[in-house]
Amino acid sequence: MRFAVAIACLLAVGCDGGRSTQAGEPSGSAAGDDDRGKEQARFDTERRPEKVVEAMGIGPGSRVADVGAGTGLLTVHLARAVAPNGRVVATDIDGAVLDLLAQRLKAAGLADVVERRVVAGGTPDLEPASYDAILLAEVDHLLKDPVQWLKTAASALKPGGRLVISNRVYHRAQSLANARSAGLVLKNEFNPVPTHYVAVFVTQEKP
């Protein structure tokens, strides 16, 4: 699960497979580091996160939001992409999983690149016009009001910024419909692996 407790589903910001929480992981121990390494390797093989990073169009110096970051299986890739002078804001409703994210980033030497942010869940809680890219990975189908949430998130993008949704293919139709209703324009879409899609959106240009 991307979030450690079932209440995350009720608050509607993500608890699907992808960034699993290792609740019994020995904090800071060699066993914990080994478990995290194996988990990361499995995730990287099964989900091809480098394709998501590529779709986001980010690089050194970019400012990125990772919504519902969980334990950081994707966050570490985003941090590596924007380092050394970029920034990733990793949000989650559960501070405990963000603590696990911090351990993962510390082990990767990327802790200074990421800001952890506990959010309420109903809104993105992102600064306006501040982000080159916003990522929702296995999160958008759990939002209580996805259209309004996406509208608010779009206002946090810089001009030319991208909002990227990655999820399982059976959520695709509803995700695309919500994004259209929020005024987002589909720029690109592909399947990094057969079970998942990645959709890249931009805001409509004002006349």
Judging by DSSP bridges, how do beta strands 157-168 and 131-137 pair with one another?
parallel
- Residue 140 CA, distance from chain mean position: 10
What pLDDT does 30 receive?
A: 54
- CA 166/CA 168 separation, integer angstroms: 7
Q: Where are the domains of the chain?
A: 7-203
What pLDDT does 8 receive?
A: 41
Q: Does the pLDDT value for residue 83 go beyond 60?
A: yes
What pLDDT does 16 receive?
A: 39
Q: Does the pLDDT value for residue 21 go beyond 60?
A: no
Average pLDDT over residues 19-41: 56
The DSSP element (H or E) to which 130 belongs, if any, is none
Q: Which of 2-16, 32-46, 156-170 has the lowest mean pLDDT?
A: 2-16
Q: What's the Rg (C-alpha) of the chain?
A: 16
Model confidence at 205, pLDDT cuts 50, 70, 90, reads low
What pLDDT does 13 receive?
A: 42
Name the DSSP class of 205: P
Average pLDDT, the chain: 85
Q: Does the pLDDT value for residue 1 go beyond 60?
A: no
Task: Report pLDDT digits (tens) over 65-77.
Answer: 999 999 999 999 9
Task: Report pLDDT digits (tens) over 122-156.
Answer: 899 999 999 999 999 999 998 999 999 999 999 99
User: SS3 for 98?
Assistant: helix
Task: Report pLDDT digits (tens) over 91-128.
Answer: 999 999 999 999 999 999 999 999 999 998 789 999 99
Q: Which CATH architecture has domain 7-203?
A: 3-Layer(aba) Sandwich (3.40)
For the entire predicted model, the pTM comes to: 0.84
Q: Does the pLDDT value for residue 32 go beyond 80?
A: no
